[in-house]
């Protein structure tokens, strides 16, 4: 509520300013209004942070200081040029290069931005590259992601299609396995024509404030269209559809803008960076990156469930009271019912009885593994993890608060998620335990069973939890 009122005040202030100043000033500019938004600023920050963790897990971030620093410098110059009414001190604009051939760039709510190497190589000038970035920054500053969700009255959770963090592919969510990789792009495919017009106009204004020629933003759209043929795909253009006469509109806006002085664009640095990139081994396309990660060779964990191929049955054996030992190197030791099978895949271990596993994960059993944590705060990383599980299994809801517990002799959190499983058509109960590893990572255990069978599973789950020993 508070933010909404603030927006209104700004709009009123803007109008007053226009009335007072317009007749005197020789330069004017189109007024851009903050779109209506029912979400909190912190929602943008949170969604973007979760999504960026996922992006960086799945996409190859270029590890080249010189090129990255250059993009960050351009980014910072643009961010400093955002008109004051669109600056949100909570936002943290960050800039990374994705080592991919496609001409693409995207920014996440709250500020994380990713520019493909292909985009930097395609730009004819530094100004053209800055143009794309200014356009993306405008979407962030105007909070278009959550503004469009406001308009479509989507629940906030659905916004996070990209945030299928970690648990996504395993707990039986159908989308879990497929989405991940393309999530970031899916996120960006929905900008409306109105949002595009706003980002073009504000982008041009930011360009001028930062000392760039705003016409380079218009030029970049042509450059992209010219170079987007073939396998590189005009991804960026389909994410940012032409609202109509884009080129002319930006140029018309440019005529009304005064380009700030003193920025002293030196094109040599840009050319150096382009030469540097051209000298590196050929970058993969996003398609190749996705394909390779599905084969388990890439960065990500997108791909088939380790339990794929199993057949679900509505008669699943009760857990045996006889336990057997599982060890993973010397880092993990635990026991599990002797009639369960084990499935291992990239940091996740799944235990399930016959009839309880298949292409969409498990209906009965235990999954455990490690997840990256964004901070040393167990509560925070637990929440991130649980959100990821829910996003990947959208039938689940968190039905208890987090409570303190112990796991492997350490402080832990536990919580319960429930919902109607699309596989069994019964209410499923998933109990999550989390604790921290010494390297800062998160260790999680998720125990799953239909609610109607919980009495036969509780003892087995308790025994599993008690048996876990970590040595990290
Ligand atoms: Zn756009």
Q: Which of 286, 304, 404, 306 is nearest to 350 (CA)?
A: 306
How many A from CA of 28 to the centre of ligand 1?
A: 23
- Does the pLDDT of residue 4 top 50, yes or no? no
Determine the pLDDT at residue 191: 75
How many A from CA of 299 to the centre of ligand 1?
A: 28
Please write down the HEC assignment for all residues of the chain. CHHHHHHHHHHHHHHHHHHHHCCCCCCCCCCCCCCCCCCCHHHHHHHHHHHHHHHHHHCCECCCHHHHHHHHHHHHHHHHCCCHHHCCCCCCCEEEEECECCCCEEECCCCEEEEEHHHHHHCCCHHHHHHHHHHHHHHHHCCHHHHHHHHCCCCHHHHHHHCCCHHHHCCCCHHHHHHHHHHHHHHHCCCCHHHHHHHHHHHHHHHHHCCCCCHHHHHHHHHHHHHCCHHHCCHHHHHCCCCCCHHHHHHHHHHHCCCCCCCCCCHHHHHHHHHHHHCCCCCECHHHHHHHHHCCCCCCCCCCCCCCCCCCCCCCCCCCCCEEEEEECCCEEEEEECCEEEEEECCEEEEEECCCEECCEECCEEEEEEECCCCCCHHHHHHHHHHHHHHHCCCCEECCCCEEEEECCEEEEEEEEEEECCCCCCEEEEEEEEEECCCCCEEEEEEEEEHHHHHHHHHHHHHHHHHCEECC
How many A from CA of 452 to the centre of ligand 1?
A: 49
How many A from CA of 184 to the centre of ligand 1?
A: 14
- Does the pLDDT of residue 286 top 70, yes or no? yes
How many A from CA of 135 to the centre of ligand 1?
A: 6
Determine the pLDDT at residue 347: 63
- Using only the alpha carbons of the chain, give its radius of gyration: 25
How far is C-alpha 257 from the chain's CA centre?
34
Q: Highest mean pLDDT range out of 55-59, 233-237, 381-385?
A: 381-385
How many A from CA of 146 to the centre of ligand 1?
A: 14
Averaged pLDDT, 41-60: 84
Q: Which residue has the higher pLDDT, 300 or 78?
A: 78
Determine the pLDDT at residue 27: 58
Positive or negative: CA dihedral 380, 385, 391, 396: negative
Give residue-wise pLDDT tens across range 66-123: 999 999 999 999 999 999 999 999 999 999 999 999 888 888 889 999 999 999 999 9
How many A from CA of 237 to the centre of ligand 1?
A: 8
Averaged pLDDT, 431-440: 89
212 and 263 Cβ atoms separated by less than 8 Å: yes
Structure tokens at 144: 């278009």
Give residue-wise pLDDT tens across range 306-338: 777 788 888 999 999 999 999 887 788 999 999
- Does the pLDDT of residue 233 top 80, yes or no? no
- Does the pLDDT of residue 292 top 80, yes or no? no
- Predicted model pTM: 0.57
- Does the pLDDT of residue 198 top 90, yes or no? yes
- Does the pLDDT of residue 361 top 50, yes or no? yes
Give residue-wise pLDDT tens across range 365-415: 999 988 777 678 899 888 878 877 876 777 889 999 999 999 999 999 999
Structure tokens at 359: 């292409």
Structure tokens at 152: 């479509």
How many A from CA of 144 to the centre of ligand 1?
A: 9
How many A from CA of 240 to the centre of ligand 1?
A: 4
Q: Which residue has the higher pLDDT, 12 or 326?
A: 326
How many A from CA of 116 to the centre of ligand 1?
A: 16
Residue carrying structure tokens 């043929």: 229
- Does the pLDDT of residue 176 top 50, yes or no? no
Determine the pLDDT at residue 74: 96
d(C-alpha 306, C-alpha 365), whole Å: 14
Determine the pLDDT at residue 294: 52
């Amino acid at each position: 509520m508070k933010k909404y009122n603030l927006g209104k005040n700004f709009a009123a202030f803007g109008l007053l300013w226009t009335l007072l100043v317009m007749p005197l000033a020789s330069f004017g500019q189109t007024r851009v209004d903050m779109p209506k938004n029912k979400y909190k600023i912190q929602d943008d920050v949170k969604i973007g942070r979760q999504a960026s963790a996922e992006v960086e897990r799945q996409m190859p971030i270029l590890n080249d200081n010189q090129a990255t620093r250059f993009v960050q410098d351009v980014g910072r110059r643009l961010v400093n040029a955002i008109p004051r009414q669109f600056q949100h001190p909570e936002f943290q604009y960050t800039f990374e290069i994705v080592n991919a051939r496609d001409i693409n760039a995207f920014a996440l709510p709250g500020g994380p931005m990713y520019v493909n190497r292909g985009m930097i190589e395609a730009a004819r000038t530094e100004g053209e590259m800055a143009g794309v970035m200014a356009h993306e920054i405008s979407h962030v500053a105007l909070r278009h992601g959550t503004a469009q969700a406001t308009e479509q009255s989507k629940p906030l959770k659905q916004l996070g299609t990209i945030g299928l963090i970690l648990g996504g592919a395993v707990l039986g969510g159908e989308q879990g396995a497929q989405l991940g990789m393309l999530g970031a792009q899916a996120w960006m495919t929905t900008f409306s024509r109105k949002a595009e017009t706003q980002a073009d106009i504000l982008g041009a204004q930011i360009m001028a404030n930062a000392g760039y020629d705003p016409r380079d933003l218009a030029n970049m759209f042509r450059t992209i269209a010219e170079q987007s043929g073939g396998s590189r795909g005009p991804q960026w253009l389909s994410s940012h559809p032409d609202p109509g006469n884009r080129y002319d509109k930006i140029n018309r806006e440019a005529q009304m803008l005064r380009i700030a002085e003193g920025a002293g664009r030196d094109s040599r640095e840009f050319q150096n960076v382009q030469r540097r990139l051209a000298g590196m081994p050929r970058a993969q396309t996003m398609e190749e990156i996705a394909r390779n990660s599905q084969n388990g060779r890439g960065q990500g964990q997108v791909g088939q469930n380790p339990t794929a191929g199993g057949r679900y049955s509505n008669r699943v054996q009760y857990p045996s009271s006889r336990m057997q030992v599982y060890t993973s190197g010397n880092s993990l030791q635990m026991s599990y019912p002797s009639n369960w099978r084990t499935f291992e895949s990239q940091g996740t271990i799944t235990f399930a009885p016959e009839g309880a596993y298949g292409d969409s994960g498990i209906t009965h059993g235990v999954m455990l593994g490690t997840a990256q944590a964004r901070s040393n705060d167990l509560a925070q990383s637990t929440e991130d993890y649980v959100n990821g599980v829910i996003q990947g299994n959208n039938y689940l809801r968190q039905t208890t608060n987090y409570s303190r517990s112990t796991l492997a002799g350490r402080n832990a959190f536990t919580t319960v998620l429930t919902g109607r499983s699309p596989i069994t058509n019964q209410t499923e109960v998933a109990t999550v335990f989390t604790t921290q590893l010494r390297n800062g990572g998160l260790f999680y255990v998720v125990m799953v069973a239909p609610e109607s069978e919980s009495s036969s599973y509780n003892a087995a789950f308790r025994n599993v939890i008690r048996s876990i020993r970590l040595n990290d």
